[in-house]
Amino acid sequence: MERGWKKALLCAGAVLLLGGCGKAKEAYDKGMELAKDGKYEKSLPYFEEAIKESSEQAEYYIGYGMALNYSGRYEDAKAEFDKVIQDKDNKISKENNKQVYYGLAIAEYNLGEYDNVIECCENALSIEYLEDMDCDILYTRMSSFCQKEEWADARKDCQEIIKKNKRYYDAYFSLAEIEQRLGNQDEAVNAYLTLIEEDKSYYDAYFGLYGQYLASGREEAANELLEQLTMLDTKEAENMMVIGRAYLCRKEYDKAEENLNLAYSGNCKESKYYLGLLYMEEKEYEKALEAFQTYVEENKEDFHVEAYCQLASIYIEQAEYEKARGMIEKGMTYGSGSAVQDLKKTEVILCERQNNYQEALSLAKEYRKLYPADSGMKKEISFIKTRLKK
């Protein structure tokens, strides 16, 4: 979902009122610059300064609210957005309202209030302006339908996104996962194949299709797909990383390591993440720790937040519980999505390993509320309760 909020911020800048000048405008622009670079915490003081200097500018609150969202301060974000909803029948007010409703939807999503998300998205979609935001808003609503396990509605939103924008490739990927949930294995395969046809370099789709083939017992097709990936042109470092990932799926660890290291040597820094996964598979935790640490240090602006989850898992294995908690807390500051879901699940495991079952139960219940589609946590809660009885 993070890909969409930057577009919302860009829209906010586009409709900036002429009254926002001087010191306030300068602070706002600096906040926007930092936020667009992913430096959300650093952007907050600049938005606060802009609002202090010019408290009538709705755009300043919108920028501030979005930055708060991606700093993990969702209740604070909601408070800022609520200040600037306007009941005026003019273009600028409606454009601002659309961004406000979208910002509220993001906050509500992270708070697990999925019905509120859907309502906010519908309010936003009812506004005819800033139509280039509609796909991101639909994607947010679709994500809420998924959390509510309302797969048919989620599928409709994916299809609507694709109808509006054939190049919104994340929707194809989500559609494939939704079709799988609905038990439509062939449709899931077709969604992946369509995505690959639209963008042959969307390699996550190949790996998604590989998993789908395996799940449906089509091992020969799965292996053929991996073989296809190993034949990529090796002149590009990014391709070497994909080849390494393919060998990792095949559990050919020596070849995977060789190709991932070559990719890293070619300045494909993302390959360190997959080297970390490889070492985790081999239970070489010290090497995995080094790989993930290097990955995080070298990819501060655009990286897999899951790396923090992996680091936390390693520290849990090493009984370094305070370090594990630090990784979880650090990862949480990077926003929403499946990575944060994994971090919250890892936090439950951390509490269990520390024999802190009361906190584990509380966190597990909170997790269950936020992610009801994950039925596994229901079993985990039952297990934790048995430990509490002892």
The structure's pTM equals 0.79
Question: What is the token pair recorded at 84?
Answer: 């600037």
CATH number at residue 344: 1.25.40
Give domain status of residue 40, yes or no: yes
- Mean pLDDT value across the chain: 89
Q: Is residue 263 part of a domain?
A: yes
Say whether both 236 and 355 belong to one domain. no
For 50, half-sphere exposure in the C-beta direction (CA atoms, 13 angstrom radius) is: 26
Same domain? For 102 and 15 the reply is yes
Residues 99 and 51 in one domain: yes
- pLDDT tens-digit series, residues 327-340: 999 888 765 566 78
Distances (CA, A) of 168 to 6, 29, 158, 172, 193: 15, 28, 10, 8, 15
Residue-level length of the chain: 390
- Domains contained in the chain, number: 4
Q: Tell me, yes or no, whether 348 and 385 share the same domain.
A: yes
If one compares 13 and 352, the residue with the highest pLDDT of the two is 352
Q: Of the candidates 304, 336, 359, which is a domain's last residue?
A: 304
Residue 11, both tokens: 């829209």
Chain centroid offset of residue 280 CA: 22
Q: Which domain holds residue 179?
A: 175-228
Instruction: Kindly state whether residue 183 falls inside one of the protein's structural domains.
Output: yes
Of 281, 304, 327, the domain-final residue? 304
Residues 136 and 113 in one domain: yes
Contact predicate 202/169, CB 8 Å:
yes
User: Mean pLDDT across the stretch 92-112?
Assistant: 92
Calpha distance 1→6 (Å, rounded): 10
Residue type at position 46: Y
267 and 319 part of one domain: no
How many whole angstroms separate alpha carbon 374 and alpha carbon 376?
5
Q: What are phi and psi of 115, to 5 degrees?
A: -65, -40
337: helix, strand or coil: coil
9 pLDDT exceeds 50? Answer: no
Three-state DSSP class for 198?
Answer: helix
Residue 117 belongs to domain with CATH number: 1.25.40.10
- Same domain for 320 and 256, yes or no, is no
Q: Are residues 15 and 144 in the same domain?
A: yes
Specify whether the CB–CB gap between 146 and 131 falls below 8 A. no
* 230 SS3 class: helix
CB 237 within 8 A of CB 274: no
Residues 40 and 78 in one domain: yes
Mean pLDDT of the 248-267 span:
96
Say if residue 247 is in the same domain as residue 282. yes
Do 94 and 210 lie in one domain? The reply is no
Q: Do 222 and 119 lie in a common domain?
A: no
